Structure 1
């Protein structure tokens, strides 16, 4: 069996984009080249990898092989980056994952910092929830991630920011003008919780308050949470970085008990770090530019 790197790149791109044409654009090749690469790969392994219908999806075999393909591609990308680094050049693409509140509240400042300090490094952002990010790191879908309160931290990881959880209410809510809102008073209006992120920390706040956690509504997407609170169907709890996502009708108010979360940038635990992931972490040393300090004033020196 003779499997090539271009075949694996085409396979991963089609799975990621669910489209041959979009994958071709992402790879900078023709659609026929992508189709040929997939077809020859399927012949090499003697089985179909993709279901070719509206919205291309992996077959059972494809789903089994894509994590291994990503691991191989991550190793190849890291090798190429290591060669460039040996010649004194930080260049190439590094894939970074983060949760929605970090993507909107912190990453814009970080991307400006990295653009200034690593001008030849292209940081591709992948947005996911708390449960997805560690899996993406392990599978090789991403090279680095900003994790929320990671339990096991690699010595090379870096605490980039911390923020506190606040009450999410409408601006015309009776409690919106208070200096802080006790959790017991907040949840009287019905708590809407997002299972796609921070639910573990919301449960912890309930434990600190000695209150049983019982959300009246549990939704996956943070956008759905914001929409329901905006319509007056309940209240929420979210980190202060999420303020960048709020529509004009909503406001974040300090909450008691107070709980802080830590945001840590790290690489995979199961394989060597991508050199450019290490470069992202190393570049955070030293004074931060004003553009990054304005990202909620959360970036740590």
Structure 2
């Protein structure tokens, strides 16, 4: 047991150094002195017979470190879940913190209500939020960076997952655009304007109706951050297609216009598929199942 605990501590040091890109920063996060952090990593490197990080500024994993880092994360996540399961005596979970990954629009439109619900029913559970793109979130979940995630349209839905909400994709245009104020438009109506695309949990779904209707999907710009896309639309550089949950991000100069046919996405709360769930992930899922959060993004009226 002592040897196992030592190995877990060494893995935790390795992950902290990689995440914080330095020995001093890792020491601060872990509450250790820098000498102890260096000693722990050196012991782990002797055990695996190879260097795990490059001693530079910033610190980066070596090729061996890149290979072993996901396994270190998964081992630590499994160990946290093991200790939590051993300590749990009821269905409400145990005190502790879990990591939850969410896409940007869900973080903005859905997460505040979820956090209030969980704090009300499960005040002993802390939630650390990781915001990322679809592919990042799935990778974080399976490698152990996070314990739970909100996924968009997973196919098939993971076993034990919970459908949290459904929202629709809509066109975002300037409030003085000729299409603003329409009760509904078709994709073809957007062809006269440059199309701005974002990878923030949207692009895969937006490509589908283009393919079904035979319309070309040719965005003039592909933008990572949704806020940047909205600024570009506001500047008159094009139009976009975004989830209705992003309505609260719109300025007074922008408005959403419904698309025909309606294009929806499903937001699903789940734990990892490759290892047992942390008990607190099961607890937050069960609370959502008993007391669903309604979707009510602020409406943006065209001007």
Question: What TM-score do the two structures reach when normalised by structure 1?
Answer: 0.90
Counterpart residue number, 1:74? 77
Q: Does structure 2 conserve the Cα–Cα contact (< 8 Å) formed by 1:108 and 1:295?
A: no
Report the Cα distance in structure 2 between the residues aligned to 1:266 and 1:195, rounded to whole angstroms.
Answer: 21
Counterpart residue number, 1:4? 7
User: Cα offset for 1:293?
Assistant: 4.0
User: Cα offset for 1:93?
Assistant: 1.3
Against the structure 1 CA distance between its residues 248 and 144, is the aligned structure 2 distance closer, same or farther, given a 3 Å change threshold? same
Secondary structure at the counterpart of residue 29 of structure 1: coil
Over the residues paired in the alignment, what is the CA RMSD in angstroms? 2.1
1:241-260 aligned at under 5 Å gives the runs: 241-260=245-264
Q: How many residue pairs align between the two structures?
A: 294
In terms of mean alpha carbon deviation, does 194-203 or 207-216 score higher?
207-216
2:19 equivalent to 1:16 = yes
2:138 equivalent to 1:134 = yes
1:1-301 aligned at under 5 Å gives the runs: 4-86=7-89, 90-288=94-292, 292-293=293-294, 296=297
Question: What TM-score do the two structures reach when normalised by structure 2?
Answer: 0.89
Secondary structure at the counterpart of residue 165 of structure 1: strand
Unpaired segments of 5 or more residues in structure 1?
A: none
Against the structure 1 CA distance between its residues 40 and 194, is the aligned structure 2 distance closer, same or farther, given a 3 Å change threshold? same
Against the structure 1 CA distance between its residues 20 and 227, is the aligned structure 2 distance closer, same or farther, given a 3 Å change threshold? farther
Report the Cα distance in structure 1 between the residues aligned to 2:97 and 2:49, rounded to whole angstroms.
Answer: 32
Q: Does structure 2 conserve the Cα–Cα contact (< 8 Å) formed by 1:109 and 1:294?
A: no
Unpaired segments of 5 or more residues in structure 2?
A: 299-303
Q: Does structure 1 conserve the Cα–Cα contact (< 8 Å) formed by 2:171 and 2:241?
A: yes
Secondary structure at the counterpart of residue 90 of structure 1: coil
